[in-house]
Structure 1
Amino acid sequence: MIKISVLLLAFTFFSCGSNTDKSKENAVKNVSEAKLTDEQLLDVVQKQTFRYFWDYAEPNSGLARERYHPDGVYPENDYNIVTTGGSGFGLMAIISGISQGYITKDQGVERLNKIADFLDKADRFHGAWSHWIDGNTGKVKPFGTKDNGGDLVETSFLAAGMITVREYLKEGSEKEKAVAQKYDALWKGIDWKWYTNNKNVLYWHWSPNYKWEMNFPLEGYNECLITYVLAASSPTHSIDAKAYHEGWARSGGIVSSKTKYNIPLLFKHNGAEEFGGPLFWAHYSYVGLDPNQLSDQYANYFDLNVNQTKINYEYCLANPNKVAGYGADYWGLTASYSRNPDGSVGYNAHMPSNDQGVISPTAAISSIVYTPKESLALIRNLYENHKNETWGNAGFYDALSLGNKWVAKRYLAIDQGPEVVMIENYRTGLLWKLFMNAPETRQGLQKLGFHSTKYGF
């Protein structure tokens, strides 16, 4: 079970008294929370958000549910649907939870072993898992009509988590080494080369029914850099570096000379070349891939991500649509649940060029490694001033439009996961160290022409 902080226990104790006691409680609570240090505040957020992947994981598989709705109402009966990519973030979150003492190592290893056994039996397509999996059966749950086979991008997020787990456990007890070996075998079974379709580019999908009909080549820039890094890193099914340079980097066409708010974009963001894309593009590939001091012939990747985040932040400060509340402590646009015009809950890829007046807490929180001051301002504002509306049993809710008095009191794995992992990387760098020091990662990055002064290559 997750350890409950002394502070929260104290609040629970105070709440048992009379109305007078409750008034005193509110005063004490406000003062106490205002005095939380940045480190204490981050620990509270990380610990609570971690619960998504521990207390609210899909029970049969142990993997991350696609979504968690505290009210128990789910669309299309998908209570047991797990997400491949979100589960990759979840694997890293479990390592973080062990390291921070939220769970014991034995508890974490038991869950990781359960997950590995489930994934070993689940549907795979040339080694890749589908976007969604039925947590009861291990069978593919189609994400769309033709999207009923392998999803290489989601698989790459999962594989990054697998490598991290292996590195964390490989020198441990005999049981820990055995679990590490399971993840090693799973990751090495992914046939990255198959997904080139004999061309110098990777493709997102392959289906046994529809083959390559979705025809979605992975061209930069978006969230898919890690897919090329892992495909080049595979010791069993590696791709040629040409796929990265000609496919992903489009023979240099990925580079942009544009600026916004006097901040260079550096890359052409697909479909969002003026302001950059949704902020998850600065998160998903970099939960394990450390952008600090990482560069290749196209960009410095820390600068790339800092710049995208700052442009997103500056847009919210400029607030051209006059959205109520946008400012230095209420910002961050990325894909999440969203507010439909009628006030119902939908889904949208929020970004400056698609501003729906909805802030996604994961946008700023997961950017803490790039903009610590600005991210902490958002966290502190929500926690201290809007906790009653925005805080639930798995951390901050997924999407907010406070000016409209609207909150999507729901959670998505792909949003909660980067929060836990990036807070951990900000606090300790643990997950970056594990992933970047894996021998395959280093070899793959060097194969593609990357350099990291931080890691000595």
Structure 2
Amino acid sequence: MKQSFLLLSLALLFPGLAGAQQKVPVKKPAAAPTAVGLTPAGSGPKRPRNLSDEQLLDLVQRQTFRYFWDFGHPVSGMARERSNVSFDYGDEVVTTGGTGFGLMAIIVAAERGWITREQAAERTLKIVNFLWKADMYHGVFPHWLNGATGKTIRFSPKDDGGDLVETSFLFEGLICARQYYTRDTPAESALRNKILWMWEGVEWNWHQQGGQNVLYWHWSPNNGWSMNHQIHGWNECLVTYVLAASSPKYAIDKAVYDQGWATGNYFKNGKEFYKTKLPLGFDYGGPLFFSHYSFLGIDPRGLKDQYADYMQQNQAHTLINRAYCIDNPKHYKGYGADTWGLTASDSYKGYAAHSPTEDLGVISPTAALSAMPYAPEFSMQALRHFYNDLGDNIWGEYGFVDAFSEEHNWQAKSYLAIDQGPIVGMIENHRTGLLWKLFMSSPDVQRGLTKLGFESPQLKK
């Protein structure tokens, strides 16, 4: 995902495809209930000042949540891909993975009282009912859907079918929802049942392409396996293998994890960068979203297998990313202890996978903010600077804009679902562990993690 490595490679081949800075406004959805405590954008006072840490975290989560609530698609309730027109497709593009993150943000909003539980369940059921009728392929959803019709919008010329990674992010949110909405009401009962039926119907092992010990990212009825994109670690896709192992009916074996995921040139690392040892992944860690997407649901605290301690992995990745920004070898304006965080996002050049090895001078607020569970003091330092000092330029209707560059005097005009969602969810996991508790409480997830050889305090013996 993160427009995935697939999009990143496409962006390199076809720079115009990114289209990230088209400034054509999308149509606003029909009015939704306004989140409690917020005034509509453009009215009311300027940013509140002199907030405590807890007040500031509340405000950032709540304002960011509005992306999914006020700006959700009016027909489907799904999360729009971005706040500006995407890739010349128009206003109807909704994202399956981003919707999974949005479902988790809605749970946070209900738990914190920004909306009622009944409103949250109603919106979630609306999304579930839409997905129930939308295009799917062997139970796997495409990357993009038309939010009004449920028909596939192709992501690239041959990517017009099932996207297993996007589907895993969607079900990360749906499983959290099924564990949260446990009351005996018509709405909560209906959404639990339909989520279960869809979850049972995902043919994860179909994506082994004939029984190979690896998962493939895409399959299309028009193009078959021609995308030919194997899912190897280390990247954002750990949850894909965990859910594939957790499936009640179409599960993969542990050999698929060991021989498919835990292989390749960028799985094991073990080298030191800025005096911090990095167990897995690319040199310097790669984009920070690797430590966010799978871990909105998977609790890394005490999570270990034969390859790594995943809290140590994510902390090391975060600290190396920050240390690089402080070192600032390219001497970009603004980088430092309170301005750090490189991950894939929009940039002044289009969409890019920002990291220490692809550094364009662009800071993405989601990078530092979604790292709150791993480096809370440093994430809070960045948050205060973004809000107090840079907020006149980068704080808006749905929280912080997608990215900015002081070096290039540029700020994105856009918000992206896959960047806004982790801000809400990972800050909440830092504060209460809410989403971690929900996802890890699923008996299916417990079984899948155990099958793959994981240890965790959350796993029942």
Same fold (TM over 0.5): yes
Partner of 1:235: 248
Cα distance 1:65–1:446, how it changes in 2: closer, same or farther (>3 A)?
Answer: same
- Per mean C-alpha deviation after superposition, the further-off stretch among 371-380 and 170-179 is 170-179
Partner of 1:18: none
Given candidates 238, 241, 255, the residue that maps to 1:225 is 238
Deviation at 1:165, TM superposition (A): 0.5
For the 8 Å contact 2:86–2:93, the answer to whether it is kept is no
Summarize deviations over 1:177-197 as a string: whole Å, max 9, x none: 221111111111100010011
Given candidates 41, 49, 67, the residue that maps to 1:33 is 49
SS of equivalent residue, structure 1 residue 348: strand
Distance 2:386 2:133 in 1: 42
Q: How does 1:116-195 map to 2 (within 5 A)?
A: 116-195=128-207
Partner of 2:313: 304
For the 8 Å contact 1:245–1:252, the answer to whether it is kept is no
Any gaps of 5 or more consecutive residues in structure 1?
16-25, 341-345
The yes-or-no answer on 1:87 pairing with 2:99 is yes
Distance 1:172 1:290 in 2: 28
Deviation at 1:12, TM superposition (A): 6.7
Distance 1:171 1:296 in 2: 35
Any gaps of 5 or more consecutive residues in structure 2?
1-33
Partner of 1:367: 371
Distance 2:438 2:345 in 1: 28
Partner of 1:250: 263
What letter matches 2:111 in structure 1?
A: S
Deviation at 1:250, TM superposition (A): 2.1
For the 8 Å contact 1:162–1:184, the answer to whether it is kept is no
Cα distance 1:172–1:312, how it changes in 2: closer, same or farther (>3 A)?
Answer: farther
- Per mean C-alpha deviation after superposition, the further-off stretch among 163-172 and 318-327 is 163-172
The yes-or-no answer on 1:400 pairing with 2:404 is yes
Which consecutive aligned stretches of 4+ in structure 1 deviate over 6 angstroms post-superposition?
A: none
Aligned identity (percent) is 51
SS of equivalent residue, structure 1 residue 452: coil
SS of equivalent residue, structure 1 residue 451: coil
Distance 1:251 1:317 in 2: 30
For the 8 Å contact 2:269–2:283, the answer to whether it is kept is no
Partner of 1:19: none
Given candidates 433, 442, 445, the residue that maps to 2:446 is 442
What letter matches 1:33 in structure 2?
A: R
Summarize deviations over 1:326-352 as a string: whole Å, max 9, x none: 011110000000112xxxxx1100000
For the 8 Å contact 2:125–2:187, the answer to whether it is kept is no
The yes-or-no answer on 1:295 pairing with 2:304 is yes
Deviation at 1:78, TM superposition (A): 2.7
The yes-or-no answer on 1:318 pairing with 2:327 is yes
Q: How does 1:341-380 map to 2 (within 5 A)?
A: 346-380=350-384
What letter matches 1:379 in structure 2?
A: L
What letter matches 1:306 in structure 2?
A: Q
Summarize deviations over 1:122-159 as a string: whole Å, max 9, x none: 11011000001011111110000110000000000001
Deviation at 1:387, TM superposition (A): 1.2
For the 8 Å contact 2:446–2:460, the answer to whether it is kept is no
Deviation at 1:454, TM superposition (A): 4.2
TM-score after normalising by structure 2:
0.89
Cα distance 1:402–1:452, how it changes in 2: closer, same or farther (>3 A)?
Answer: same
Deviation at 1:456, TM superposition (A): 4.2
Partner of 2:123: 111
Distance 2:98 2:187 in 1: 25
SS of equivalent residue, structure 2 residue 64: helix
Q: How does 1:318-337 map to 2 (within 5 A)?
A: 318-337=327-346
SS of equivalent residue, structure 1 residue 209: coil
What letter matches 1:420 in structure 2?
A: V
What letter matches 1:232 in structure 2?
A: A
Distance 1:252 1:388 in 2: 43
Partner of 2:37: 4
Partner of 1:42: 57
Summarize deviations over 1:270-295 as a string: whole Å, max 9, x none: xxx32111000000110000000000
- Per mean C-alpha deviation after superposition, the further-off stretch among 37-46 and 245-254 is 245-254
Partner of 2:83: 68
For the 8 Å contact 1:245–1:251, the answer to whether it is kept is no
Cα distance 1:347–1:253, how it changes in 2: closer, same or farther (>3 A)?
Answer: closer
What letter matches 1:382 in structure 2?
A: F
Given candidates 443, 449, 455, the residue that maps to 1:451 is 455
For the 8 Å contact 2:178–2:192, the answer to whether it is kept is yes
SS of equivalent residue, structure 2 residue 337: coil
SS of equivalent residue, structure 2 residue 283: coil
Distance 1:211 1:295 in 2: 36
Summarize deviations over 1:35-87 as a string: whole Å, max 9, x none: x1111100000000000000001111100000013xxx554143110011101
